[in-house]
Amino acid sequence: MSYRGRLAPSPTGYLHLGHARTFWTAQERARAAGGTLILRNDDLDRARCRPEFATAMLEDLRWAGCAWSEGPGIGGPHAPYAQSERLPQYRAAFEQLRMAGFIYPCACSRQDVLRALTAPHHGDEEPVYPGTCRLRSPAVSDHEAALTQNWRFRVPDGEAVEFTDGHDGPQRAVAGVDFGDFLVWRKDGFPSYQLACAVDDAAMQITEVVRGADLITSTFRQLLLFRALGCEAPAFFHCPLLTDEHGTRLAKRHDALSLRTLRAEGRHAEELRG
C-alpha cells in the first residue's frame, strides 16, 4: 500500500506558525515516502467554523508551500473532502457501531458533550466518564430517533491500548483508567471529533496521520474506533507543539504569528520554513 497522508485543518481562525510547521512536516513525510497528500477541511463545528477562515486556510497553506493532490475544489476518489458534507458516512458508521453494541445512549454531562465536537487540546481532556448510563437499556431502536441522543463508546475496561508513535515512540493507555467511555455522537445530529476523524481517515485510506502532539491522547480512542469499525488503523506521527516566547502553546489567538500577519509583514515562506 502506498503512503497516503493528510492535512486536516479546521477553519476556526487563521492558521499560525505552529500549524504551518505541523503541515509542513506532514508534507515532507509524504514526499519522502513518494506518497499522496490530501487536504481535508475539518469543519464540523458549526459554531466556530467560518467560510472566510476556510478560504484563508487554503490560501495560507499554499503560500506556506504546501501542495496536495486531493481536496476541496480539486476533488478526488474520496470526495467530498469537507467534513460538513460527510454526514451520511458518519451516520453509517454510527449505525454500524450501534448495531454491533459498541455504543450506548447517554443522558448526562452537558459539558463533555459540548466539547466533543472539536479536537481536544492540552488541559481540556475529558474526565473519565463514571459509566452512569452504561447499564441503562436503550429505549430507542429506530436509527433516526437514535441520532437525536448522545452516545458513548463502551471502552474495554482494563485493556492496554498501545501504539508506536513515529515521533514519540511507544505509547500506552489503559481503557477505563486513563480514559473512559467517550462520546461518539451528539444529540444535535453530529458525530464527535473522534468518530468523524476515524471514519474519514479510514475512508480516505490514510496510512499515516501527522498532527500536533495535543492530539496524542485522542489516538487511543480512535484506535478503539478503527477496531470496532473493522478498519485497519493508520500509523501516527505527533509533532511537538510550538510555543511562544513565554512558553505558551501557540493558539489561533496569537495573531502576531498568524501566517496572514507574517505574510502582510513581508516575511517569506522560505524564511519561515527555515
Active site residues: 252
DSSP 257: G
Least separation in angstroms between CB 149 and Zn ion: 10
Q: Which is nearer to Zn ion, 130 or 240 (CB)?
A: 130
Neighbours of 114 (CB within 10 A): 12
Site mask for Zn ion (CB under 5 A), range 16-55, x = bound: ----------------------------------------
Number of residues that bind Zn ion (CB under 5 A): 4
Cell of 48: 466556530
Report residue 209: phi and psi, to 5°: -100, 120
- Amino acid making up residue 180: G
Least separation in angstroms between CB 126 and Zn ion: 12
Q: Which is nearer to Zn ion, 1 or 135 (CB)?
A: 135
Q: Assess contact for 58 and 257: CB atoms under 8 A.
A: no
Q: Which is nearer to Zn ion, 138 or 156 (CB)?
A: 138
Q: Assess contact for 209 and 179: CB atoms under 8 A.
A: no
- Binding flag, residue 132, Zn ion (CB under 5 A): yes
Task: Compute the distance between CA of residue 166 and CA of residue 75 in angstroms, rounded to an integer.
Answer: 29
Neighbours of 113 (CB within 10 A): 18
Q: Assess contact for 128 and 176: CB atoms under 8 A.
A: yes
- 254 half-sphere exposure, CB direction, 13 A CA radius: 19
Terminal Cα-to-Cα distance of the chain (whole angstroms): 32
Q: Which is nearer to Zn ion, 221 or 254 (CB)?
A: 221
Q: Which is nearer to Zn ion, 183 or 216 (CB)?
A: 183
> Footprint of Zn ion on residues 72-131 (CB under 5 A)?
106, 108
- Binding flag, residue 184, Zn ion (CB under 5 A): no
Least separation in angstroms between CB 138 and Zn ion: 12
Least separation in angstroms between CB 83 and Zn ion: 25
Task: Compute the distance between CA of residue 104 and CA of residue 114 in angstroms, rounded to an integer.
Answer: 18
Least separation in angstroms between CB 102 and Zn ion: 16
Q: Return the axis-axis angle of helices 193-203 and 216-228, rounded to nearest 10°.
A: 60
- Binding flag, residue 133, Zn ion (CB under 5 A): yes
Q: Which stretch binds Zn ion (CB under 5 A): 133-141, 175-183, 210-218, 266-274?
A: 133-141
Residues that bind Zn ion (CB under 5 A): 106, 108, 132-133
